[in-house]
Structure 1
Amino acid sequence: MTSKLPPLSSLRVFEAAARHGSFTRASEELGMTQAAVSYQMKILEERVGTALFLRKPRQVSLTETGRRIAPVITEAFELLRSAFVMAEDSSQRLLSITAVTTFAASFLAERMGSFQIKHDDLAVRLDTSLPLVDFTREEFDVGIRSGGGSWDGLESHFLIPCDFTPLVNPELAESIGGIHQPSDLLKLPLVGISDPWWRSWFEAVGLPTDDLKCRQKSGMMLQLLEARAAEAGQGVAILTPAFFRDSLKRGTLMQPFDKLCRDEGYGYWLAYPKARRNVPKIKKFREWLLAEIKEFNVREEVIIQEMRDSGQLISL
């Protein structure tokens, strides 16, 4: 039968006492009383079946058995210390982010380089997924999600609202003589017709929603995919225009109307466990992201006003 190891607590005390040659100094290092150190040594010696220390006034010295096993135990604890140092170093040098796909592709991807330059001590791992990650079960530091921002045990910071409006390929719009009023949209295929944003926008501009019921229900679940379909001329998509400024600037998409609807109470949020709010790498990312969002929101206001002033948007 394999012999069981002595209690780790006793081995830890033995290693410290052997290294210092003193129960007193071992107790100081470990934050224990001398009585507790002596008790742990008694447990260990009873387990081994022989004395490991010779007790002398104001000092202790190792017995022959103690001298034989001390280097092995010290080496074992050094290996444990090294393992945890490596684990801690790896953990503190890697920032793991989980984000919804559209936010990751349309916002984070083009900005993460500036974060890495500013914090070159950190490596970044970015993962995309739809469901909210369980931080107690998966190895992520922070998450960016859409929703109401109230999640048990998580600290959350509002980033941007869920605004939406129809976007369309200009050539597709010209195929029906241009889009001049909301009803013109009904002459074209609608991408992601099952998205409740369509009904909300139609109602906001006074269009009947009966037409939506007659169309084939379809949806791609991701704004990014629906935007690509719209760019390819497959139909009109209902999207958050702030995420597709590059496409609007290139002219592969156009925003016909100035009417933006908002999914009230919902938006994009930065979230992480409350207990980890002061972890240095999380603080660095939070401060950087909130500063980027502030600049982004200011720029959005300027862009929208410029589009209104230039007549690019039809006012409803």
Structure 2
Amino acid sequence: MTNGKKSLIDEKSSSMSDRYMFSRLPQLSQIRGFEAAARLGSFKAAGEELNISPTAISHQISNLEDKLGVLLFERKTRSVSLTQEGHRLAQAAHQALKQLTTAVEEMSDTQSVLRVSTTASFAAMWLIPSLSRFQNKHPEIKTEIITSEEVIDINRDRRVDLAIRYGCHDENNKNKTVLINESFSAYATEDYLDRLKDLKDAVFIETKWKNKNLPSVALSHYLQKINKDISAPRICSFDQEHHVIQAALAGQGIAFVSSVLADMALQKGWLKPLDESFSLPGLTYSLLVSPFSEGLRKVAVFKEWIAEELSKYPSKHIENRMRST
């Protein structure tokens, strides 16, 4: 037998083997339904993600179990949990769907959609005003911004590609990429500062976080450090930083707020710093990538862009700007 004939026979044999192996695979819709239910731990949540009813998810998984001849879930009165066989299939299904998603994203001619989750204030005061620069560099990527004060579980929710989080920097979390460590200072309109005869008469505007786990950055500490002895300052508070900035822009007082969020108003000349020489260290903006979106080009280019944009901001720390009281 010649090498050419042997090669042809080997190819036919391999093709027949693949055809037999693939013919045993369940329907893709069943795999998607099972993977979502396994990841979310709920038929209802899986149905919401895939835009079908929980009953349809239940039927898909029952048909899948019948085809495989094993139980994938243990059904309880108010919950479901994976069996040992279910865990094994869930890992394989997740990896297979992830690879398939990556391949489709990379070869598709249609505009890729990047979904970014972040806080309302960061979206309103920095991300959306800056986003045109990303769109100009990557017109093939459509960006959708999802704002919420509730933390989205990026390891389970496939609707989000990446999340920009705000809080304390955790050195032990290796999955987070630090974008910027902000600083806090006081800002007001030039007109408000000109009309203000005595700082004791000023109205200070600050944020009271909805998230009680966030540590406060104290206005009183800031006033002490700039040698302004105001025993009982008049304070107005909002639960969103962009509301604080809007109030200052309306001439209602002096905003004590993040330098990152106030940057556009400063660049436009709409706000002026109360004291240019001092600021307090604030919290950290970090980036998390969904495990379902790792390796996608749209995620990689956005990470590169936002890191470059935020690297332009100087770091300000109390240690090297502190005045004696």
Tell me the TM-score normalised to structure 2 length. 0.57
What is the aligned residue count? 222
Task: Give the one of 285, 290, 304 matched to 1:268.
Answer: 285
Please state how far the C-alpha of 1:157 moved relative to its aligned partner: 1.4
Deviates more, 1:277-286 or 1:232-241: 277-286
What RMSD in Å do the two structures reach over aligned CA positions? 3.9
The whole-number CA distance in structure 2 between the counterparts of 1:193 and 1:94 is 33
Q: Distance in 2 between matches of 1:206 and 1:97?
A: 41
Structure 2, unpaired ranges of 5+? 1-11, 26-99, 209-215, 317-322
Q: 1:211 aligns with which of 215, 232, 237?
A: 232
Structure 2 equivalent of residue 58 of structure 1: none
**How far apart in 1 are the matches of 2:310 and 2:245?**
22
Of 12, 16, 38, the residue aligned with 1:26 is 16
Higher mean Cα deviation, 241-250 or 102-111?
A: 241-250
Q: Tell me the distance in 1 between the aligned counterparts of 2:152 and 2:255.
A: 28
1:115, distance to aligned residue in structure 2 (A) = 2.0
Asked if 1:157 corresponds to 2:153, the answer is no
2:222 maps to which of 201, 219, 226: 201
Give the direction of change, closer, same or farther, for the CA distance of 1:290–1:251 in structure 2 (3 Å limit).
Answer: closer
Partners of 2:302 and 2:245 in 1: how far apart?
28
Equivalent in the alignment of 1:192: 206
Structure 1 residue 256: Cα displacement? 2.3
Normalised by the length of structure 1, the TM-score is 0.58
| 1:94 partner SS | strand
Provide the C-alpha distance between the structure 1 equivalents of 2:19 and 2:112, rounded to a whole number of angstroms: 28
- Choose 1 or 2 for highest CA Rg: 1
Native 8 Å contact 1:166 1:236 kept in 2: yes
For 1:9-62, what per-residue CA distance to the aligned partner results, in whole angstroms no more than 9, with x for missing partners?
Answer: xxxxxxxxxxxxx88633135658xxx99xxxxxxxxxxxxxxxxxxxxxxxxx
Aligned twin of 2:310: 293
Q: Is the 8 A contact 2:111 2:140 kept in 1?
A: no
Unpaired segments of 5 or more residues in structure 1?
Answer: 1-21, 38-83, 178-183, 305-314
CA–CA distance in structure 2, aligned partners of residues 104 and 186 of structure 1: 33
Assess if the C-alpha contact under 8 Å between 1:169 and 1:231 holds in 2: yes
Change (3 A) 1:246 1:26: same
Contact 1:149 1:157 in 2 (8 A): no
Shift of 1:234: 0.8
2:57 alignment counterpart: none
- 1:252 aligned to 246, 270, 282, which one? 270
Give, in whole Å, the separation in 2 of the partners of 1:30 and 1:120: 43
Identity of aligned residues (%): 20
- Which residue number in structure 1 is paired with residue 130 of structure 2? 111
